[in-house]
Structure 1
Amino acid sequence: MDHASNIEDQFIGHPFRDHDNLPYSIFSGNQNTVPVVLKKKDHHRNTHRKIVSFKKSANSGNRKAGAKNAADFSKIIGRDRKMKDVFREIVDVAEYDYPVHIFGETGTGKELVAEAIHETSPRRNGPFVPINCGALPESLIESELFGHVKGSFSGAIRDRKGRFELADGGTIFLDEIAELSKYMQAKLLRFLQDGKFEKVGGEKTVTVNVRVISATNKDLRKEMKKSNFRDDLYYRINVVPVHLPPLRDRKSDIPLLVDHFLKQATRRYNRSPLTVSDDAMVLLKGYPWPGNVRELQNAIQYSFVKGNGSEITRNDLPIEINDTRLFMNVNSMSRKLNVARVESAIKKTGGNKAKAARLLDVGRATLYRFLNEHPDLQESFCT
């Protein structure tokens, strides 16, 4: 299904204008939930396509005309090569009911990816039920997951459904699954084997039809070696692994994310559009972001509150980001490396990274970091 080529601001929080103003159109292959693929023709009339984000097509109510409106279904934002790989994995795994395990550092968006898998799957009309396994005490987690019957413990004044029962026909998302006790791991393993469980204090076996997606920021193989996580459960939940890259490994997406968070804030508080100064963007792209996208969102919200003008400056950034040494180091590299200089080095060296680094008078690690921030340039080098 091809839509109109004017797509600025149709995507989640950020426009997609090509630097050479080549025309884009939206390509999709599924009328319900699809990855959005940009399709463009270059000056030689060759067609290029790339996944950039996800959308859900929803009936607009005008069934006679068959009209459909595109609506946001996920806040996953990214055009970096690593995120395109994640988008493809979402599409690949959504069709099947196999358990999926998402690994990613804190703040990388594991729940968003789990929800995207659900919304792209045949279960999309069923419930999506998330639970953070590390947020509840051991005394409550079993009841929260599997429910309880009246009188099973002090305070159980009526029967209560657990998250698995509430997710019947849909998807349950078990975040921070590594925090489950060995007892709860065993009970979860039994459910994964036959789809059955008993409520706390109950004798009746309950059967539900639920897809399980789990996530953690821990290395489960290391947890297995330390006897903190069951081997058999690991192999049950890790049928299809999905790895989310940290923000420091996809810094080319930072301007898109900043733009998205600023637009969110200006819409919510009815303020005029804001831009980001070059100095501030240098710092935002140079900071390592240990808290990943969530930390970036918090930083932009802080800057939005502190800034008074039409532009976010480096002085509006949180103190840990507005670091003079960081600015000097990053700014020094940006003076040595820019897109034009690197493109020239690519041509002169035939795409050889080692030779290009010597020509640019930078270390190979410095060049690699720059290329990670500019994935389109990365593709020009020999592999």
Structure 2
Amino acid sequence: MTHSSVDDILFSKENLLRVLDNLDTGIVAHDTARRIFVFNREAERITGFPREEVIGRDCHEVFGSPLCGSRCSFCGDTVFSEDQRSYPLNLVSHSGEVRQVEMSLTAMKKPDGSLWGVLASMRDVTDLFDLRLKAADMGRFSGIIGNDPKMLQIFQQIRDVSQYDFPVHITGDTGTGKELVAAAIHSESPRSEKPFVPINCGALPEGLIESELFGHVKGSFSGAVRDKKGRFELAHGGTVFLDEVAELSKHMQVKLLRFLQEGSFERVGGEQTLKVDVRIVSATNKDLKKEVLKGDFRDDLYYRLNVVPIRLPALRERRNDIPHLVRHFMEEAARQYPHTSPRISREALGMLMDYSWPGNVRELQNAVRFAIVKSGGGEIGPLDLPLEIRGEVELKSRKGPSRKLDADTVAQVLLRTDGNKAKAAKLLGVGRATLYRFLKDYPELYTGS
């Protein structure tokens, strides 16, 4: 077959369509006005839209919004300036099914080099994700380490909820990674190219929090020397993460509720009503429902925030992830400090597995860093672990009712339990009466009530 005859076949519209329809990659092509002129069979399967409803139409009109969300290069004044671009994408099909796609865009240019359209190829990796979930073989997802079934469920929840703008409320103990989950929801969503703005509601002074959230105008209070945008304005198009939301005062709860209801606000000292488009993810280590019952949190705000709840398990509930996390933290340290080659002995890892981890993943990270320094960047042994870990694990390993107390151990446990004798007795494995009798002989160990 001659070169010209091959060209004739390929330039035949019907033959070219046959070639495209036999690819296992979705192909979509549109001009600079976003009018679609190529949409192959795999693109139909991935998106759920039939070809006849797509060809010749504006892609935003067809899909109801940009297919590629905030990454769209044909929105407003945005211009596709690269020759090629690739990124992962979650999209919602015509039937409402969330699909994970690897998207690649290629510029189509005229002979003079000017842009006349774009060719998008989509590879569906949803089944691969689902298979890894079923096989419990994820390891990590969107920056979160975990292979425990509880974490695999969290990964699935993140993937499912990321495509919707419904408010998400994350609960979990301190150190479980609530901000990581919020950031993952953002990065997996169509808003991922826009800002992710975290706000620690418990760390902002009461007198400044309204200005921080909503901004202020010049002269509205002492020190307001210029107009300032608030965090909600800065997050326009993206996601706001309200951490420790239970710490908001009643006054700020009212302000936040109004914003959630109307999507509008005024800067402090301003009269102009502003509107922004943000997705709200909130978190707390408290039980918000109990806060409502106590009268400390508004019930109407609770129901606005708690539309999609996600509960993060404590580290002690997913101990099988501890080796993965330890390895990750050691690899992280080795990259940051190339002169080290941290390793961990079986005995030390066993002690980490047996510890109760009240500080969760954050405490584990700190413990690994402490041990790396103590071991000189070499192999981590039991003696390189923090004292509280060794003390608790050694106490647990002592058998039988004839457990003896010593002053050093009791002092450590009382410090660890903030002087709570009931908790200390439980941790020490003795009755409260036994601990009380011991403390009578060592009054200097305990000065509380």
Same fold, judged at TM 0.5 (above): yes
Q: Which residue of 2 aligns with 1:326?
A: 393
What is the distance in 2 between the residues matched to 1:146 and 1:198? 7
Q: Which residue of 2 aligns with 1:198?
A: 266
Q: Which residue of 2 aligns with 1:292?
A: 360
The offset of 1:303, in angstroms, is 0.4
Superposed CA deviations along residues 170-200 of structure 1, whole A, max 9, x for unmatched, are: 0000000000000100000001001000110
Q: Residues 263 and 294 from structure 1, CA distance in 2 versus in 1: closer, same or farther, beyond 3 angstroms?
A: same
1:235 equivalent in alignment to 2:327? no
Aligned equivalent of 1:145, options 192, 195, 213: 213
Q: Residues 109 and 180 from structure 1, CA distance in 2 versus in 1: closer, same or farther, beyond 3 angstroms?
A: same
What is the distance in 1 between the residues matched to 2:137 and 2:261? 35
Superposed CA deviations along residues 34-82 of structure 1, whole A, max 9, x for unmatched, are: 8873858xxxxxx964461556xxxxxxxxxxxxxxxxxx431000011
Secondary structure at 2:100's aligned position in 1?
coil
Q: Which residue of 2 aligns with 1:95?
A: 163
Superposed CA deviations along residues 103-145 of structure 1, whole A, max 9, x for unmatched, are: 0111000000000000001111111000100001100000000
1:30 equivalent in alignment to 2:104? no
1:225 equivalent in alignment to 2:293? yes
| Matches for 1:207-356 after TM superposition, within 5 Å | 207-308=275-376, 310-323=378-391, 326-327=393-394, 329=396
Secondary structure at 1:30's aligned position in 2?
strand
Alpha-carbon contact 1:105-1:246 (below 8 Å) kept: yes
TM-score by length of 2: 0.60
Aligned length: 282
Alpha-carbon contact 2:315-2:357 (below 8 Å) kept: yes
Q: Residues 328 and 37 from structure 1, CA distance in 2 versus in 1: closer, same or farther, beyond 3 angstroms?
A: farther
1:155 equivalent in alignment to 2:155? no
What is the distance in 2 between the residues matched to 1:144 and 1:154? 15
What is the distance in 2 between the residues matched to 1:116 and 1:131? 16
Higher RCO structure (Cα 8 Å, ≥6 apart):
1
What is the distance in 1 between the residues matched to 2:266 and 2:130? 48
1:77 equivalent in alignment to 2:148? no
**Which AA in structure 1 matches 2:280?**
V
**Which AA in structure 2 matches 1:37?**
F
Q: Residues 50 and 76 from structure 1, CA distance in 2 versus in 1: closer, same or farther, beyond 3 angstroms?
A: same
TM-score by length of 1: 0.70
What is the distance in 1 between the residues matched to 2:274 and 2:340? 54
What is the distance in 1 between the residues matched to 2:175 and 2:331? 20
1:172 equivalent in alignment to 2:258? no
Superposed CA deviations along residues 233-283 of structure 1, whole A, max 9, x for unmatched, are: 000000000000000100000000000001111111113432211111111
The offset of 1:166, in angstroms, is 0.4
Q: Residues 186 and 291 from structure 1, CA distance in 2 versus in 1: closer, same or farther, beyond 3 angstroms?
A: same
Secondary structure at 1:185's aligned position in 2?
helix
Q: Residues 331 and 118 from structure 1, CA distance in 2 versus in 1: closer, same or farther, beyond 3 angstroms?
A: farther
What is the distance in 1 between the residues matched to 2:320 and 2:225? 54
Larger radius of gyration: 2
Alpha-carbon contact 2:316-2:357 (below 8 Å) kept: yes
**Which AA in structure 2 matches 1:31?**
E
What is the distance in 1 between the residues matched to 2:269 and 2:330? 50
Alpha-carbon contact 2:341-2:377 (below 8 Å) kept: no
Let me know the Cα RMSD of the aligned residues. 2.4
Alpha-carbon contact 1:38-1:52 (below 8 Å) kept: no
Q: Which residue of 2 aligns with 1:186?
A: 254
The offset of 1:309, in angstroms, is 6.2
What is the distance in 2 between the residues matched to 1:49 and 1:294? 27
Q: Which residue of 1 aligns with 2:109?
A: none
What is the distance in 2 between the residues matched to 1:327 and 1:254? 19
Q: Which residue of 2 aligns with 1:52?
A: 138
Alpha-carbon contact 1:314-1:322 (below 8 Å) kept: yes
What is the distance in 2 between the residues matched to 1:331 and 1:76? 35
The offset of 1:226, in angstroms, is 1.0
What is the distance in 1 between the residues matched to 2:223 and 2:203? 20
What is the distance in 1 between the residues matched to 2:131 and 2:353? 28
Structure 1 unmatched runs, 5+: 3-27, 41-46, 56-73, 333-383
What is the distance in 1 between the residues matched to 2:201 and 2:327? 33
Secondary structure at 1:29's aligned position in 2?
strand
**Which AA in structure 2 matches 1:239?**
V
**Which AA in structure 1 matches 2:203?**
A
Structure 2 unmatched runs, 5+: 1-23, 26-98, 104-123, 400-449
